[in-house]
């Protein structure tokens, strides 16, 4: 049986798997047990939002196929052939591509019709008179450095010298203290490590719907276009941002991305984000509200350490791990809801000295863990002598 026929059977027999990554991953392990590359590339296409977009199509053309392949190449740094195999396998399985590789219309609407993501829409060209150092890559332009004088408002173009800008490289705007607002044009997909580090005057940023990746966390997870740099400065570390809404196409946010943003009050995270990385919001002393991703699984070391203004946290179902120091120093935190899915609190690769919710004397006097009877969270609370109460409290 051909790969696309196996995938088609999976889709038909387990339609809910297209909304549950863990289930899809388990099915791939069952149906492709000896082919790790195939499993990984098919999942990459799913994680990249390509499958969600295909589900909203009744037909497909070569331009769309090419766009999907390039998206996987750029996002994961994989070979063109492997990206093509994954995209074409999915397209055939979903009835959008014939056995001969020609586009065709799909009559079966049983897969559902989610709206096409905003980031997939066509974008208009935006050019700029500002000066940039840049380099051409096989995927498009990467901005290396902002080489002009600071202005109050800077619009980062999506076209330079007639070529598409795909990424803003590591530390490209580092230390531009005079910029107060940044508008990143649609079409740009990747922000590097420390791209706006120490832009102390930066109060507002407009992110494009096409954005997929903010910084990185390790060399193996680094989009190839950013190079092999391993210094993980946060993209917006030590800026004066007051609020941030991250587009839903973003699937990866690097360590310390908003660390030290002392004026940040509200953060809306993308719904597909699986992890809140180490120190993402560390020392965001004014942070009051966080809209968590509905697919969140892990909150890493010191992710919210020192967020002194947050009062209540409601973690989504599906979170499995809250690591060491995740909420240490959150002096105003009165309650946190921990779902039954959590099976580990205080783990990770820390030094073992940071309590997940800080030391007793630095917690709010009313601090309470809200949970269900018999849950891991209840057992943890009892062990740590933290007040716990029914979720209906």
Nearest of 45, 25, 46 to residue 36 by alpha carbon: 25
Separation of alpha carbons 91 and 101, rounded Å: 9
pLDDT number for residue 119: 41
Secondary structure of the chain: what % helix, strand, coil (to 5)?
25, 20, 55
For residues 337 and 315, the answer to whether their CB atoms sit within 8 Å is yes
Separation of alpha carbons 271 and 16, rounded Å: 17
Distances (CA, A) of 77 to 80, 88, 179, 182: 9, 18, 32, 28
The tens-digit pLDDT sequence of the chain (393 residues) is 789 999 999 999 998 888 888 899 999 989 988 888 889 899 999 988 899 889 888 888 877 888 888 888 877 778 888 889 999 999 999 999 876 555 565 554 344 333 344 444 567 899 998 999 999 988 899 999 999 999 999 999 999 999 999 999 999 999 999 999 999 999 999 999 999 999 999 999 999 999 999 987 555 455 667 766 556 789 999 999 999 999 999 989 999 999 999 999 999 999 989 999 999 999 999 999 999 999 999 999 999 999 999 999 999 999 999 999 999 999 999 999 999 999 999 988 777 678 999 999 999 999 999 999 999 999 999 999 999 999 865
Residue 273: exposure state from Cβ atoms within 10 A (0-12, 13-18, ≥19): buried
pLDDT number for residue 223: 65
pLDDT number for residue 222: 55
Its pTM stands at 0.73
Helix pair angle (36-47, 21-31), 10° resolution: 160
pLDDT number for residue 81: 85
């Amino acid at each position: 049986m051909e790969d696309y026929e196996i995938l088609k059977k999976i889709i038909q027999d387990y339609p809910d798997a297209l909304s549950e990554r863990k289930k899809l991953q388990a099915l791939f392990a069952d149906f492709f047990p000896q082919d790790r590359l195939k499993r990984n590339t098919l999942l990459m296409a799913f994680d990249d939002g390509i499958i969600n977009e295909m589900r909203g199509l009744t037909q497909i053309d070569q331009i769309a196929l090419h766009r999907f392949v390039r998206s996987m190449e750029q996002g994961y740094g994989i070979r063109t052939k492997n990206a093509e195999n994954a995209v074409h396998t999915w397209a055939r399985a979903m009835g959008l591509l014939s056995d001969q590789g020609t586009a065709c219309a799909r009559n079966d609407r049983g897969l559902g019709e989610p709206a096409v993501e905003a980031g997939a829409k066509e974008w208009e060209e935006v050019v700029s008179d500002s000066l940039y150092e840049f380099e051409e890559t096989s995927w498009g332009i990467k901005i290396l450095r902002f080489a002009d004088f600071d202005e109050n408002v800077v619009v980062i173009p999506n076209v330079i010298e007639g070529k598409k800008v795909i990424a803003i490289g590591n530390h490209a705007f580092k230390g531009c203290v005079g910029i107060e607002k940044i508008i990143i044009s649609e079409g740009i997909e990747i922000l590097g490590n420390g791209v706006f580090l120490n832009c102390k005057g930066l109060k507002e940023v407009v992110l494009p719907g096409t954005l997929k990746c903010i910084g990185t966390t390790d060399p193996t997870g680094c989009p190839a276009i950013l190079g092999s740099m391993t210094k993980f400065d946060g993209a917006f570390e030590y800026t004066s941002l007051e609020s941030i809404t991250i587009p839903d196409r973003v699937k990866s946010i690097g360590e310390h991305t908003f660390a030290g943003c002392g004026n940040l009050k509200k953060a809306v995270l993308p719904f597909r984000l699986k992890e809140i990385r180490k120190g993402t919001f560390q020392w965001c002393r004014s942070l009051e509200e966080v809209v968590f991703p509905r697919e969140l699984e892990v909150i890493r070391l010191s992710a919210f350490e020192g967020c002194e203004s947050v009062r209540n946290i409601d973690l989504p179902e599906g979170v499995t791990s809250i690591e060491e120091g995740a909420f240490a120093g959150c002096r105003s935190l009165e309650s946190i809801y921990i779902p039954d899915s959590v099976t580990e609190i205080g783990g990770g690769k820390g030094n073992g000295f940071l309590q997940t919710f800080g030391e007793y004397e630095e917690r709010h006097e009313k601090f309470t863990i809200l949970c269900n009877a018999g849950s891991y969270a209840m057992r943890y609370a009892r062990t740590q002598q933290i007040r716990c109460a029914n979720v209906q409290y």
